[in-house]
Amino acid sequence: MSNVAERMNRILPSQTIAITQKARQLKAEGQDIISLSAGEPDFDTPEFIKQAAIEAINRGETKYTDVAGTVALRQAVANRLNEDFGLDYRKEEICVSTGGKQVIYNVMTASLNPGDEVIIPAPAWVSYPDIVRLADGSPVIIQTSPENGFRLTADQLRGAITDRTRWLVLNSPCNPTGAAYSGEELKALTDVLLDYPHIWILTDDIYAKLVYDGHVSKTIVQVEPRLRDRTVTMNGVSKAYAMTGWRIGFSAAPEGFTKQLIKLQGQSTSNACSIAQAASVAALSGPQDFIKEMVATYQKRRDLVISALSQVQGLDSGKPEGAFYAFVSVKALIGKTTKTGKTLHNCEDFVTALLEETGVAAVHGAAFLTPGYFRVSYATSTELLEQACARIKQFCESLS
């Protein structure tokens, strides 16, 4: 008899993680690999943040903390949300978890009953639908279009709502497209949501600080305070502070719902790592200027990648406003054959052949629920990006 639960058959391994691990392994074996698959900053965690962690260890802060996180960190989260978005949250409304992923997992597990629907605009980060499925929910995928800059429209949202809809998941800037909503665009969506009091909103703001060309990130409760009592605002230190490995994410939500998140976490992982929490206090409360420098660097890299790839025949991409991804159409190349004789039936074949024949690792669009594209992360050095783009160009031009 199988000892694997039925729910495990509902999900796939995370494709972003699988491809990144494969690239890491090929590199360790000595192959010449450039990984544009990992969605993580190449910058090191700033020194003052690392020092805060070392000091926490030396002070003996190596024990359990409150399940929801230390008071110092929850207060630092509340302060940061206030400073960045003008939001007003008490520490009782904050829960710190082991990465943004655990926040989403807790939210869905704590709220969904079998058959409950969760609206997810696509392209979407690989893990949203599978987390919903694990929690017995049904993901309802709405395809956004490149013509609308991959943004969900008010009409699309209204058309997807049913009596079973429990959540809308919004992610701005978006992984994988980099699309970032303006305040007006969010307002159009919140106006719809006001008509449907049974729907909650999970806003994943993890890339909010990584925006370009003067774009200003807005979040749902800031745009429509009347949605405060049914919104979970999710963020973390991974992307903005180059702290992916520290695994700290957090939520701000009404106290009653936050209590449910804490109850669930108290029966699974308990508190997030005490040392990572101390480091996160420093990150959120310390000087923020280095983020500006990082963003300026990302913007240059975005421009480099978009300009290089737009010169490649068969590739097509818009100019993303945020995050550190380009989502590039390969539709014109489907059906072509590589010089080793492999036919590209779909975008997955494209990224597989790209890796095998050029050593460039990227993630296929189908993993993000939108076939016909591939995602490159430009969170890597200019030199590697130039090399990678040259290899992509050569590969695409060698197809027949």
Helix, strand, coil percent values for the chain (each to nearest 5): 45, 15, 40
CB of 197 to ligand GLU, least distance (A): 31
Cross-sheet strand order for the sheet of 325-329: 325-329, 373-377, 363-364
Rounded to 5 degrees, what angle do the CA atoms 195, 196, 198 make?
155
Question: For ligand GLU, what does the binding mask look like between residues 182 and 211, x meaning CB under 6 A?
Answer: ------------------------------
Nearer to ligand GLU, 144 or 175 (CB): 175
Compose the 7-36 pattern: x for residues touching ligand GLU by CB under 6 A, - for all others: -------x-xx-------------------
Structure tokens at 126: 């690989």
Would you tell me the crossing angle of helices 99-111 and 255-266 to the nearest 10 degrees? 110
41 lies in the site for ligand GLU, by CB under 6 A: no
Burial (CB count within 10 angstroms: exposed 0-12, middle 13-18, buried 19+), residue 46: buried
14/310 with CB nearer ligand GLU? 14
CB of 126 to ligand GLU, least distance (A): 6
Tracing tokens 């090399």 back to the chain, one arrives at 387
Nearer to ligand GLU, 45 or 127 (CB): 127
Residue 125 vs 181, nearer CB to ligand GLU: 125
Contact 117, 165 (CB under 8 A): yes
175 counts as binding ligand GLU under rule CB under 6 A: yes
Cβ at position 254, least distance to ligand GLU in Å:
26
First CA to last CA distance, the chain = 49
Cβ proximity to ligand GLU, 35 vs 65, nearer residue:
35
**Residue type for 317, please?**
S
Residue nearest to ligand GLU (CB): 39
Q: What's the DSSP call for residue 146? A: G
> In the complex, what is the shortest distance from the CB of residue 73 to ligand GLU, in angstroms, rounded to a whole number?
22
Cβ distance to ligand GLU smaller for residue 126 or 140: 126
CB closer to ligand GLU out of 21 and 398: 21
Q: How far is CA 155 from the centre of its chain?
A: 25
Q: Provide, rounded to whole angstroms, the least separation between the CB of residue 51 and ligand GLU.
A: 26
Q: Whole-number minimum distance, CB 175 to ligand GLU, in Å?
A: 5
For 151-218, the DSSP string reads: ---HHHHHHH--TTEEEEEEESS-TTT-----HHHHHHHHHHHHT-TT-EEEEE-TTTT-B-TT----
Size of the site for ligand GLU (CB under 6 A): 10
Binding mask 360-399 for ligand GLU (x = CB under 6 A): ----------------------------------------
Separation between Cα atoms, residue 180 and residue 299, nearest integer Å? 14
Q: Which residue in 34, 35, 36, 39 binds ligand GLU (CB under 6 A)?
A: 39
Could you tell me the smallest distance in angstroms from the CB atom of residue 193 to ligand GLU? Answer: 26
What does the block give as tokens for 59?
A: 């002070």
Q: Which residues pair with 234 in a beta bridge?
A: 204, 251
User: Nearer to ligand GLU by C-beta: 131 or 193?
Assistant: 131
Residues in the chain: 400
Contact set for ligand GLU, span 119-148 (CB under 6 A): 125-127
Closest to ligand GLU by CB, 251 vs 258, is 251
Binding site for ligand GLU (CB under 6 A): 14, 16-17, 38-40, 125-127, 175
